[in-house]
Structure 1
Amino acid sequence: MTTGREDYPDYDALWHLVSMGVRTPDHKPNGWAYRRKDKRRTRVAIIDTSVAVKHPNLVPAINKDLALDLFTAPLGCFAYRAPDAKLGDLGLCTDTHVAEGLPGITEILTRLIDRTSHGSRAWPERLQPCVGEEFSNHGTAIAGLVGARPARVKAVRPVEDEGDAEIPLPYVGVDPHCEIVPISTNFDPDPEVLIVAFLYADLIDADVVLLPRNIPDPARTVPEIAGREIGGVSLAEATAPAATTPEEARLWAELAELIVNVSLKRPVVCAAGNAGEENGIYPANLASDHNGIISVGAMNAKGYLAGFSASQNITVMGPSGDAEVFDRTQVRLDTRRHDYDPIGVPEPNENHKYSHYDVISTDVPGIHGYSDSPYASREPEQGLREFGSYFCSFGGTSAASALVAGYLSLGFSAGALGARSDGLEAKSWLLRHCAMVADGDESYAYPAWGGTCSFPDR
């Protein structure tokens, strides 16, 4: 890429897998193979936006039969089944104890089990699922990092100099053997929707639960303001988006307990936040030595804390892109940027810490997604019309948390983690399979399959 000042060097689009030691530099599995003893695919439940399930790299990974859309209705819609289809036996593990002592959640669990019982309608009557491509940017990128598979797609029109040919899409996630169950919610979910999401992840017996974003609990979204007042007014109340009813407040409180309960049975991986939060966003900030919640911050391709990442109460760091910083604590600017102007920039500019490497992931094909298409219409049902919109630059602690969730999933798939490992055991395994990476006076745990990690931009 020519900027007029200096070219950005090329980099491997799968550098993040190499940096964690999961893949060798020539993209071969680094000493692992599928060895799960119970022979079933590792199941990763992703609580996020919907996913572009027709993306060629994701088709083999997504379990559409179990995918639940909570954008549409509080108890969900099985959007990829026929509207009037009746549910069969979903194989749910209904003998669960995660709701014990939580009366509001116990009542919701009863309704959810009834909703997902044999013979129920796949779609609630008179409702349309909200899993369209226009909603699926974030979830598609997350799913690709966790478990995408390489694919070959037939070109819709002749490829230049090759005629009618197949186009390889050699993209792969951390665990290409796993199964992904999307649990999609709206953009500002209420506590009941999120309770259903975590209950459903437990009922489907997910090995790993991934929440690559925050939860908008009015009392916990910004923990730094808890207990603080201005002029006798609680900051938490003053900044709440709307008044909370007593019932909602009770469900928000029970949800926090539910997340911890679920994490004791299976690891719950959470993004720690992209605004340098002191202790991470909620619910990542619930992580402790006594539960299976894993708070994930972000490191760039040089092995430094990403410019945006939360840094306190972090369980592990994951690979991600970077951001420039120019504030009272640090000056870290990209001197390669075409409009960079050194005038007025104080010394030292720690640009040696900044990395231009992005994480590359799967994107909604066609006109939607992070990378759009030059064509005004959607991609055809069969075949590939153009390449660019199928992939995107992605980042933040969302990307880092997805890669850590994939790393845990690979632990299960490769037989390194026992098939019935609970959240605390999985968290302990993860920490044992990390290397400590120093950044100034701080050191952070970073996934290191086989004991090695590397940073290609150093």
Structure 2
Amino acid sequence: MALLQSDNTKPAPVGYYYLWHLAALGVITADFGSSSSPIPSNNESALRATPSPVISGSVWDTIANLAAVSPARVALIDVGISPDHPNLTTRIDQTASIDLATHKYGARALDILDDTDSTYKEEKEAFFAELDISGLGNLGLSVDDKEYLDDIVAEYAASYGVLRRILDSSTMFAAHGTACAGLIVAEPAALPSEGGTNPSPPEDIFTNTDSTETHPNKNPNLLPYFGADPFSRLVNITTSFEENAVQFIAAFLYAYSQNVDVIVMPRGIPDPKRSAIEPKNELKADLERWANRDAADLFARIALAEQGPVELEPRATQLGSNPDRMWNILKQLIIGVSRKIPVICAAGNSGESQLIYPASLAAPDNGIIAVGAVTAEGFRSGYSNYGEGLTLVAPSDDGEVFNRHQLRINRLSPLIAKHQYSPDTGKEYCYSHLSLLSTDLPGVFGYDEGKAPWSTLLPSANNPGVGGGYYTSFGGTSGAAALVGGVAALVQRAHRAVHGGSGKLDGIAVKSILEEASSRSSDVGPGIRPLTPDCMNGDHEDVIDPRYFFGAGLLNAAKAVGAVLNS
């Protein structure tokens, strides 16, 4: 074992279990045995050839056995969630979900009552009628910016969105959100009893698969799939990738007005100023040359302007405007909301030693939790951002790395024989073949377009997908952040188990609990190597404080929940 821990190129001799990430997080207790067989080269052979580990317990049972606990509510700010996925349909709070991508004041898709009626039907809905941000206190805004935010709040509180009886846009654009949702709250799909809807999962979630109320779903495409907290509910807040600060202000205002327990932001926000990544030192000289060229071009245009009138640039900032005002309001709003509700953010997938926005806002005095990704081999995922401000890490997939500081390649790839790789001693790091498995948007718009190995089975009559395609390989810091969002929901439910009612911990308290429950010396099960720094953007970078790569370390859900239950 010492040899394996000191050799960066030796993979851990473990098989693949499709919920391995829950074991790595301490959500379930699993015995993977002492398999010496190599890791399968792809998920299909892994799912079909590797026996399941022995599951002896879960954090869910620990909470459920104490008392009847109301579910936590997690707001997912992303591109939407498939409303009909069998593992998600009972976990999504459809009556609270909102689409801010297609309507400024919110939209929600309702069932189409009559397929033969092509008339466009739309009803008004006041989604923000209960909006009141007085509980956020001082957000640190200037007098002018505070007045501007107050005007926005008043505008939204008096606004009307729409209820639409048309095709839900989430059936086409929600692959990323659907995958994140599965990691947070997915539950095994069950057939409802007559006249009822699917209930919450049974307390003994691994053994009680059949009861007087429900029966296992016989759809051959479906897996007994679990998110980190299958007992909680998800509020879907759909946003686009537009560079529109108002859209994201509305998203955080809505999440706050809904009094959710956790907010998950598994992607970046396109702030034109705060999303900019500082260049590496070796690239700055080239950028300075470009800047000098831009300056020369500016002087040339000024000279032309002195010769006579020129056409105005339509995108140019006009005199007297403050283009950063809305983005600054958004920044302070995110920080203010995070102090009341934990905001879990993805650290980013560019392999940089700095975090994307808004994960980069994480600080000791707020509840923003910046999540990096690690592999079952104990290394930072090849793409995962790291550096100052990283809060903690969670399991995810891996990415190949080819640079002068390290080589990390998939040596099981059929293309490996086409290349020559001769890295210097100590510069090769083991590539992990274990990815996250999560729920996919069924059909051609999903990640796997209905072509995943398990979707080749004949679909049943209850299968609304195109040939199945209910699951996909997933990863990134998005996947890691989603898992942490599920654990944060567990923490909130544990708090209710002790104190009763529907109360919740604030964002700073949840962040502290998660940090205390993390460790930089843990193995990423089912691997055998503890968290190990790597050289990504500089030689000898691995001697930097491990916190730089892993924050507080690998989160353990059992420790986090135990700390709350014993408080």
TM range (shorter): 0.7 to 0.9
Q: Match of 1:306?
A: 381
For residue 394 of structure 2, the aligned residue among 313, 318, 334 is 318
For residue 398 of structure 1, the aligned residue among 469, 474, 478 is 478
Q: Match of 2:556?
A: 448
Q: Match of 1:371?
A: 448
- The answer to whether the Cα contact below 8 Å between 1:49 and 1:136 also exists between their aligned partners in 2 is yes
Structure-2 separation of matches of 1:223 and 1:255: 19
For residue 371 of structure 2, the aligned residue among 278, 288, 296 is 296
**TM-fit CA distance, 1:104:** 2.4
**TM-fit CA distance, 1:433:** 1.2
Aligned amino acid, residue 131 of structure 1: S
- The answer to whether the Cα contact below 8 Å between 2:271 and 2:327 also exists between their aligned partners in 1 is yes
Q: Quick one: structure 1 residues 54 and 349, their matched pair in 2 at CA, closer, same or farther if it must change by over 3 Å?
A: farther
- The answer to whether the Cα contact below 8 Å between 1:183 and 1:197 also exists between their aligned partners in 2 is yes
Q: Match of 1:181?
A: 235
Secondary structure at the residue paired with 2:108?
coil
Q: Quick one: structure 1 residues 348 and 92, their matched pair in 2 at CA, closer, same or farther if it must change by over 3 Å?
A: farther
- The answer to whether the Cα contact below 8 Å between 1:177 and 1:413 also exists between their aligned partners in 2 is no
For residue 23 of structure 1, the aligned residue among 24, 28, 31 is 28
For residue 110 of structure 1, the aligned residue among 131, 154, 157 is 154
Q: Match of 2:512?
A: 428
**TM-fit CA distance, 1:109:** 1.4
Secondary structure at the residue paired with 1:296?
strand
For residue 135 of structure 1, the aligned residue among 173, 194, 207 is 173
- The CA deviation string for residues 52-96 of structure 1, in whole angstroms up to 9 with x for no partner, is 010000011101111110111112112237854454898946354
- The CA deviation string for residues 226-251 of structure 1, in whole angstroms up to 9 with x for no partner, is 999632969xx9xxxx6566344210
Secondary structure at the residue paired with 2:364?
coil
Mean Cα deviation higher: 267-276 or 331-340: 331-340
Q: Verify: 1:348 aligned to 2:425, yes or no.
A: yes
Q: Quick one: structure 1 residues 269 and 336, their matched pair in 2 at CA, closer, same or farther if it must change by over 3 Å?
A: same
Mean Cα deviation higher: 324-333 or 346-355: 346-355
Q: Quick one: structure 1 residues 37 and 99, their matched pair in 2 at CA, closer, same or farther if it must change by over 3 Å?
A: farther
Q: Quick one: structure 1 residues 275 and 171, their matched pair in 2 at CA, closer, same or farther if it must change by over 3 Å?
A: same
**TM-fit CA distance, 1:318:** 1.2
Aligned amino acid, residue 288 of structure 1: A
For residue 269 of structure 1, the aligned residue among 344, 357, 375 is 344
Q: Quick one: structure 1 residues 56 and 255, their matched pair in 2 at CA, closer, same or farther if it must change by over 3 Å?
A: same
For residue 353 of structure 2, the aligned residue among 244, 261, 278 is 278
Q: Quick one: structure 1 residues 389 and 350, their matched pair in 2 at CA, closer, same or farther if it must change by over 3 Å?
A: farther
Structure-2 separation of matches of 1:75 and 1:384: 30
Mean Cα deviation higher: 257-266 or 366-375: 366-375
The aligned runs of 1:33-44 (5 Å cut-off) are 33-34=63-64, 39-44=69-74
Mean Cα deviation higher: 165-174 or 312-321: 165-174
For these two proteins, the number of residue pairs brought into alignment is: 422
Q: Verify: 1:231 aligned to 2:292, yes or no.
A: yes
Secondary structure at the residue paired with 1:122?
strand
**TM-fit CA distance, 1:206:** 1.1
Q: Quick one: structure 1 residues 9 and 317, their matched pair in 2 at CA, closer, same or farther if it must change by over 3 Å?
A: closer
Sequence identity (%): 33
**TM-fit CA distance, 1:129:** 7.4
**TM-fit CA distance, 1:36:** 9.1
Q: Match of 1:123?
A: 163
Structure-2 separation of matches of 1:417 and 1:299: 32
**TM-fit CA distance, 1:107:** 1.5
- The answer to whether the Cα contact below 8 Å between 1:84 and 1:121 also exists between their aligned partners in 2 is no
- The answer to whether the Cα contact below 8 Å between 1:69 and 1:77 also exists between their aligned partners in 2 is yes
Q: Match of 1:72?
A: 102
The aligned runs of 1:380-395 (5 Å cut-off) are 382-383=462-463, 389-395=469-475
Gaps (5+ residues) in structure 2?
Answer: 1-12, 31-53, 113-120, 193-216, 299-314, 522-530, 534-542, 561-567
Q: Quick one: structure 1 residues 446 and 427, their matched pair in 2 at CA, closer, same or farther if it must change by over 3 Å?
A: same
Aligned amino acid, residue 108 of structure 1: I
Mean Cα deviation higher: 104-113 or 345-354: 345-354
Structure-1 separation of matches of 2:128 and 2:110: 14
Q: Quick one: structure 1 residues 91 and 253, their matched pair in 2 at CA, closer, same or farther if it must change by over 3 Å?
A: closer
- The CA deviation string for residues 410-432 of structure 1, in whole angstroms up to 9 with x for no partner, is 11123379732111111001111
Q: Verify: 1:412 aligned to 2:441, yes or no.
A: no
**TM-fit CA distance, 1:329:** 1.2
Q: Match of 1:160?
A: none
Q: Which has the larger radius of gyration?
A: 2
- The CA deviation string for residues 336-367 of structure 1, in whole angstroms up to 9 with x for no partner, is 11111362432337555310100010001122
TM-score, L = length of structure 2: 0.67
- The answer to whether the Cα contact below 8 Å between 1:51 and 1:140 also exists between their aligned partners in 2 is yes
Q: Match of 2:249?
A: 195
Structure-2 separation of matches of 1:143 and 1:404: 12
Secondary structure at the residue paired with 1:196?
helix
- The answer to whether the Cα contact below 8 Å between 2:83 and 2:170 also exists between their aligned partners in 1 is no
- The answer to whether the Cα contact below 8 Å between 1:46 and 1:209 also exists between their aligned partners in 2 is yes
Q: Quick one: structure 1 residues 292 and 90, their matched pair in 2 at CA, closer, same or farther if it must change by over 3 Å?
A: same
Aligned amino acid, residue 425 of structure 1: A
- The answer to whether the Cα contact below 8 Å between 1:65 and 1:81 also exists between their aligned partners in 2 is no
Q: Match of 2:200?
A: none
Mean Cα deviation higher: 78-87 or 183-192: 78-87
Q: Match of 2:42?
A: none
Q: Quick one: structure 1 residues 328 and 225, their matched pair in 2 at CA, closer, same or farther if it must change by over 3 Å?
A: closer
Secondary structure at the residue paired with 2:29?
coil
**Greater share of residues in helix:** 2
